[in-house]
Every structure is written in C-alpha cells, then in structure tokens.
C-alpha cells in the first residue's frame, strides 16, 4: 500500500511552477473549495432556515462568527497537509504508538463519518423526493452511488478533476439558495442589527449552538489536510512553500466567503419571508413555505440547490471517511467497502422510516462529540515546531486557535445539554 495518496498520485509541479513564474496564485486554488462544501451541507441549510424562520435576523452574528472561526481552522488543516505531506488522520496514525489507541480514535472518527453521511444522504434523498417524487430510500441510494462515482474520479484521475466537479456543484448550491433573495429581499437595517450578539431565550441558544455545530465539522478538518496533501504533496521549506501557503490563504478566504455568504443568505431568506410560518423546521416544510411565499420557481431552485448540497457534501464526507480509514488503520480497504461502511446507517434510517428532520438533528448531536477529537490534535500538531519547522504557528495564531476551539467545544457541549434536557 502506498504511504499516502501522493505516492499513488505523484504531485504535478506545473501549477506551482506556473504560479511561481507569474507570481499568481490562481493555479494553486481549489482544495478549499472542496472542503468548503462541508459548510453548505443539508444540516447547515436546516439550521439556518429554522433560525431565520423562528427568530428573524437575531442570529445572523452566529453564522458570521462561525465562518470567521472556520477560516482559521481550515487554514491550519490545509497547512498541516502542505508542510508535512500528511493528512490529520495520517499524522495521528503515525504518532499513536498503541494499536488500541489508534483503533479507539478510528472508531469515534468513523462514527463522525457515518453521522456526516446521515445528514448529507438524507438531504440528497429529500431533494430527489421534492424534485421527482422518488421514495426516500431510492433517493438515498442514488446520492450514495453518485458520491462513490466521484470518489472513483478522485482516486483514478487525481485531485484537480474532483475539485472542478465539486466547485461546479458549489456554484449550483449558491444559485439555488440565493435566488429567492431577489424576489423576497431582507430589510437591510434589520439584517445589520442581527450582527450584534444577543439571544432570546433558551431556544435561540439551542439554535445558535446548532448553527455552529453544523458549521465547523470534524470531517472538513480531516478532509482539508488530505486535499492539500493530494494536490501539493510535501512542499519543502522555501519560496515554493511560502507561495503555496499564501495561495492557500486566498483559497480558504474565497471558499469560506462563498459558503458564509450562502449561509447568511439562507437565514436572511427565511427571516424576510418565513418568520413565524409553521413547519419550516423541516426541509420539506421550508420548501413548501418558500413556494407559498415566493412562488414555485424559487421553491424549485431551492430543491435543486439542496440536491447539489447533498451530492457535493456527501462526496466530500465520503472522501474524509476514506482518508480516516487509510490514515488510522494502515490497511488498504477497497473503495466500495469503505463507502458501504459509512453510508449504511443513513440508508437504514431511511428504510425504517425515521423522520428525516429528526435524523438530521441527531446527526448534528453525534458530530458534536467529534469536534474535540479533530480540533485539539490539529492545534497541537500545527503548534509543534519539531513537526512544522519554520511553518509552526505563531503564538498569536495558536492562542486564537485555542480560543476558537474552546468556544466551539463549549457551544457543542451546550447543544448536547440542551438537547438532553429538552430545553
């Protein structure tokens, strides 16, 4: 088995040479756009739509704050892959001396991958049901098959074609979710007022925690380090590394600006047009409410955006799940088997008829457990001079990363407590 994906797919130096020769970063962009799709999955759509419908513009600041923190976290993940030539799971798999520790960490990470698939496969299934009236289980199978085909594309053709497909789906997501804002625009003054941090009771705190829990996802952290490794390999210290890291900052900024804008738009769309409307806590209910308030074309575009969201995000989730297995277990597992393992719980939930909205909520709770296991090692590794060399985090960067990690973990614990107590 190759030590990592770059052994099987040697890095093409031409984009770096072209960028270096022309002092441009454009040839080096792409990995963050793929990782950024994780911030536009059906869980985000449901959380932001519910927040806007229930509390209007109140929680705009939560979406913005989550994306600011996500920028730093995703950049650190990308930097780890560039500087070490290893993904986060791979780096941890090499550091864990005990087999039981490695397998224990893998079990929780695999649970995260499965929970990710629950939200994303169910989101795709719901979209196909809305668009073509397909049974949810059929929609789930189609979503799973498409994600596997995209994994095959990445495995056989390399990082660049995979990036192009996911970026294309990201544009469809943006159009699908933002179109309604043209017909039902928000109130600018109220939207600006939503940037001031405040809550309105326990339910708003629960929704804020849900938004942040659906924003910074463990699988996005695992995936981004692997994506930069697959694209650039190990980049030695010097001019080339500085160029790649500079391009990565631009890449992360563009990707999260798009993802953050779309997430804010979803909340604003609901706040302007669906506030107080019953049933908008479910994807089907939000779709029906949009159709009633803004017309069927807007509802159709919403469903198309939701389908693109499910297909793109489950592909990235499947990529992360494959990397988790490869990096931690040190065994070669066939692509079909890896995909079958992570998608099975989502399909089982559809088969037994679990309410899709309930499944989405429960998946976010499970993901909350995985946040510390991804964030704490990421901050620790990128602050390790022996591992990172001259690219080690500055003290301020580490302090901000610790602050962001602590805040996210605290809010996810709050989410778990509120869900457990039924607040």
Q: Is residue 27 very low, low, confident or very high in pLDDT (cuts 50, 70, 90)? A: confident
Output the pLDDT for position 236. Answer: 92
Output the pLDDT for position 17. Answer: 54
Output the pLDDT for position 194. Answer: 96
Query: Residues 373, 377, 381, CA angle at the centre, nearest 5°?
Result: 170
375 is in which domain, residue-wise? 5-421
Half-sphere exposure of 17 (CA within 13 A, CB side): 4
Residue 224 has pLDDT above 60, yes or no: yes
Output the pLDDT for position 10. Answer: 45
Q: Of 418, 408, 300, which Cα lies nearest the Cα of 361?
A: 418
Of 57-66, 137-146, 208-217, 369-378, the least confident: 208-217
Output the pLDDT for position 214. Answer: 73
**Token digits for 142?**
């189609």
Residue 392 — left, alpha, or beta (φ > 0 → left; ψ -120 to 50 → alpha)?
A: beta
Query: Residues 373, 375, 381, CA angle at the centre, nearest 5°?
Result: 100
Output the pLDDT for position 19. Answer: 54
Instruction: Give one DSSP letter per residue of 308-356, joined into a string.
Output: HHHHHHHHHHHHHHHHHHHHHH-S---HHHHHHHHHHHHHHHHHTT--H
Q: Is residue 9 very low, low, confident or very high in pLDDT (cuts 50, 70, 90)? A: very low
Output the pLDDT for position 163. Answer: 87
Compute the average pLDDT of residues 102-116.
89
Distance CA 374, CA 368 (A): 11
DSSP type of residue 27: G
Output the pLDDT for position 12. Answer: 54
CATH code of the domain covering residue 213: 1.20.1740.10
* Total structural domains within the chain: 1
Of 11-15, 99-103, 257-261, 412-416, the least confident: 11-15
Compute the average pLDDT of residues 280-287.
87
pLDDT, the chain, mean: 87
Output the pLDDT for position 6. Answer: 38
Give pTM, 2 decimals: 0.89
Q: Are 286 and 274 in contact (CB under 8 A)?
A: yes
Give the helix/strand (H/E) hosting 284: helix 283-294
Distance CA 48, CA 253 (A): 21
């Amino acid at each position: 088995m190759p030590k990592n994906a770059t052994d099987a797919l040697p890095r093409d130096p031409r984009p770096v040479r072209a960028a270096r020769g022309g002092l441009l970063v454009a040839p080096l962009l792409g990995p963050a756009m793929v990782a950024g799709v994780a911030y536009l999955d059906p869980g985000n759509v449901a959380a932001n739509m519910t927040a806007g419908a229930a509390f209007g513009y109140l929680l705009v600041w939560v979406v913005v704050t989550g994306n600011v923190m996500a920028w730093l976290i995703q950049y650190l993940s990308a930097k780890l892959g560039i500087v070490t030539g290893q993904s986060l799971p791979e780096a941890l798999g090499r550091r864990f001396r005990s087999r039981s520790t490695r397998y224990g960490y893998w079990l929780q990470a695999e649970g995260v991958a499965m929970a990710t698939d629950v939200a994303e496969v169910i989101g795709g299934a719901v979209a196909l049901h809305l668009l073509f009236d397909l049974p949810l289980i059929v929609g789930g199978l189609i979503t799973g098959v498409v994600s596997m085909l995209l994994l095959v594309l990445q495995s056989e053709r390399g990082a660049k074609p995979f990036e192009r497909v996911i970026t294309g789906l990201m544009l469809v997501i943006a159009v699908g979710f933002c179109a309604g804002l043209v017909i039902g625009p928000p109130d600018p003054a109220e939207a600006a007022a939503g940037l001031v941090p405040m809550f309105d009771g326990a339910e708003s705190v629960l929704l804020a925690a849900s938004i942040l829990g659906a924003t910074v996802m463990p699988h996005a952290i695992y995936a981004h380090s692997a994506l930069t490794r697959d694209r650039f390999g190990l980049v030695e210290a010097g001019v080339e590394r500085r160029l790649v890291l500079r391009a990565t900052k631009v890449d992360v900024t563009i990707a999260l600006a798009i993802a953050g804008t779309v997430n804010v738009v979803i909340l604003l769309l609901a706040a302007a047009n669906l506030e107080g409307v019953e049933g908008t806590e479910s994807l089907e209910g939000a779709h029906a409410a949009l159709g009633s308030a803004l017309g069927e074309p807007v509802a159709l575009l919403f469903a198309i955006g939701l389908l693109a969201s499910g297909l793109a995000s489950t592909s990235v989730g499947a990529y992360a799940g494959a990397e988790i297995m490869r990096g931690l277990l040190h065994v070669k597992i066939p692509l079909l088997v890896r995909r079958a393992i992570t998608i099975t719980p989502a399909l089982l939930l559809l088969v037994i008829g679990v309410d899709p909205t309930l499944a989405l909520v429960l998946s976010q709770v499970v993901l909350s457990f995985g946040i510390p296991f991804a964030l704490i090692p990421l901050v620790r590794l990128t602050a390790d001079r022996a591992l990172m060399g001259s690219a080690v985090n500055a003290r301020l960067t580490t302090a901000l990363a610790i602050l962001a990690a602590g805040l996210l973990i605290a809010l996810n614990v709050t989410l778990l407590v509120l869900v457990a107590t039924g607040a």
